[in-house]
Structure 1
Amino acid sequence: MTKVDGHVHTPFCPHGSKDSFEMYVERAMSLNYRAITFTEHAPLPEGFSDTTPDQDSGMNPSLLTEYFDTLDMLKEKYKDQILIRSGLEVDYIEGFESETREFLSTYGPRMDDGILSVHFLQHDGKWDCLDFSHDVFGSMVDDYGSVDAVYARYYKTVLKSIRADLSVYKPKRIGHITLVKKFQKLFPASHSFSDDISAILREMADRGLELDYNGAGFVKPHCGESYPPLNIVKEARALGIKTVYGSDAHEAKGLDQGRTLMDI
């Protein structure tokens, strides 16, 4: 099987490492990968205020041209050794669909691949980055009234992201659809939310979307499983959904993380 990593971050990540592109590419080749997609966090929608302490969830918009130009040079440099795809991980933020559509209409032509993810949820006018820390997640549980209420809002928002009209350049892969479980050992839900997840998968299948099979959850101390876990991956595959392994690496050594524990 051809080894592919479809979810890799870069030195352009404001909350990641400064490992060079070459470090990522050389490590990928040493692990016998044949293709890699760089999916840096896109700038958050215009008008949205990042609620993380350092406001570093997305790229600086002024760096986008340099980012894509650098990837073009890498493609040429390594063209005989590994397939490099240019991409972005785009946040779906409810209520900012038009801004996201405009962004994708501008930069989508430079994207070979991409991921659409949910990180931010809104409750009573307050936005939270649900995967930022267990403290933030705990405060969300207090605000929402229960762990289950946070889970329900997350899955509802993921479904909205799938249905959203974000232009012809909308990413075709949905990112880490069980990210809400990042702190599940500290904040366990009362049930599996299997109906919500099945609805998400059916919608993805109907629209021909791919699933990010994300290994990063294995290295998160309060998660301990892939995003999503294998039973959901099997359900997705039964519906004809293509699953694409993603390390979600934010440093070169993070490539391949979780992969040996997954059914790839």
Structure 2
Amino acid sequence: MKKVDGHIHTPFCPHGSSDSFHQYIERAISLQYTHLTFTEHAPLPAGFIDTTPDQDSGMDEEDVSSYFDTIEELKEKYRHQITIRTGLEVDYIEGFEKETADFLNGWGSRLDDSILSVHFLHHKNKWDCLDFSPEVFSSMIDRYGSVDAVYAHYYRTVLKSIEADLGAFMPNRIGHITLVKKFQKLYPASKKFTDEIHSILEAAAARGLELDYNGAGVIKPHCGESYPPWEIVERARSLGIKTVYGSDAHTASGIDQGRNAMRL
């Protein structure tokens, strides 16, 4: 029986840990995983300025070739123990679709698997990384006017990511579609945004895309549930959408996080 982790970061993550690839892989093997995909944060699109304090949201493009080469070596080394796939987590940044497609066209032939995620939102001439910190999220609420306004803009942007033309190598899996709920215990929305989420699921189903069923939210102190939670996963599966467990690990110890609280 396959046991998959489809969302794992690496030593190439600028905001991650120094844990080695081997530490990630050996932990996955010890937990009886049969398949894993490394999905390092791709470089942000050309011309986009990272708003995080250390500007460390994605790899430098000069590191991408080395990243791919390293994974190819690991595939061979561990071929009798575990199936390793080469992936990226690609940011969808509204207005930078062409630059993102250009990057994917340049590197996509080396990908086995990939994730398309929304972390950055634009409002009133300012970009924010919505999951960076409670303080950033609070400042977004002030500027957008309400928690609900932030949520609505996030879900609109996720839908746009699914509908975007990112070329032949567009990622096949949509990342943590309820990431906006990372700080929900601090800043709860007034409604569930059911219609918006159903529109996202219907668009994903129509395009044959998968969903990242992400365990990181389970362990986040201000979230306490998977991204997305079970009722959305259930709805997605009813539409024929494949869901793929992802630990979203940024350390070797993060492999398997949240899994015990999820229905796989």
TM-score (norm 1): 1.00
Partners of 2:108 and 2:143 lie apart in 1 by 36
Aligned runs of 1:5-44 on 2, under 5 Å? 5-44=5-44
SS of structure 2 residue aligned to 1:176:
coil
For residue 193 of structure 1, report the CA deviation from its aligned partner: 0.2
User: Which letter does structure 2 place at the counterpart of 1:185?
Assistant: K
* 1:201 alignment counterpart: 201
For residue 2 of structure 1, report the CA deviation from its aligned partner: 1.3
* 1:242 alignment counterpart: 242
Q: Following TM superposition, where does structure 1 have runs of at least 4 consecutive aligned residues deviating by more than 6 angstroms? A: none
User: Which letter does structure 2 place at the counterpart of 1:56?
Assistant: D
* 2:126 alignment counterpart: 126
User: Which letter does structure 2 place at the counterpart of 1:18?
Assistant: S
Across the aligned residues of Structure 1 and Structure 2, the Cα RMSD in angstroms comes to 0.4
Q: Does 1:48 align with 2:51?
A: no
Aligned runs of 1:1-264 on 2, under 5 Å? 1-264=1-264
| CA displacement, residues 77-124 of structure 1 (integer Å, 9 cap, x when unaligned) | 001110000000000000000000000000101110000000000001
Structure 2: stretches of 5+ with no match in the other structure: none
SS of structure 1 residue aligned to 2:167:
coil
| CA displacement, residues 204-237 of structure 1 (integer Å, 9 cap, x when unaligned) | 0000000000000011000000000000000000
SS of structure 2 residue aligned to 1:76:
helix
Partners of 2:189 and 2:116 lie apart in 1 by 24
Partners of 1:124 and 1:146 lie apart in 2 by 14
| CA displacement, residues 16-57 of structure 1 (integer Å, 9 cap, x when unaligned) | 001000000000000000000000000000000000000000
Partners of 2:253 and 2:234 lie apart in 1 by 28
Partners of 1:56 and 1:188 lie apart in 2 by 28
User: Which letter does structure 2 place at the counterpart of 1:10?
Assistant: T
Q: How many residues align?
A: 264
User: Which letter does structure 2 place at the counterpart of 1:73?
Assistant: E
User: Which letter does structure 2 place at the counterpart of 1:199?
Assistant: S
User: Which letter does structure 2 place at the counterpart of 1:51?
Assistant: T
SS of structure 2 residue aligned to 1:33:
coil
Partners of 1:18 and 1:88 lie apart in 2 by 18
User: Which letter does structure 2 place at the counterpart of 1:124?
Assistant: K
Question: Identity over aligned residues, as a percent?
Answer: 71
Partners of 1:18 and 1:240 lie apart in 2 by 38
Partners of 1:41 and 1:151 lie apart in 2 by 23
TM-score (norm 2): 1.00
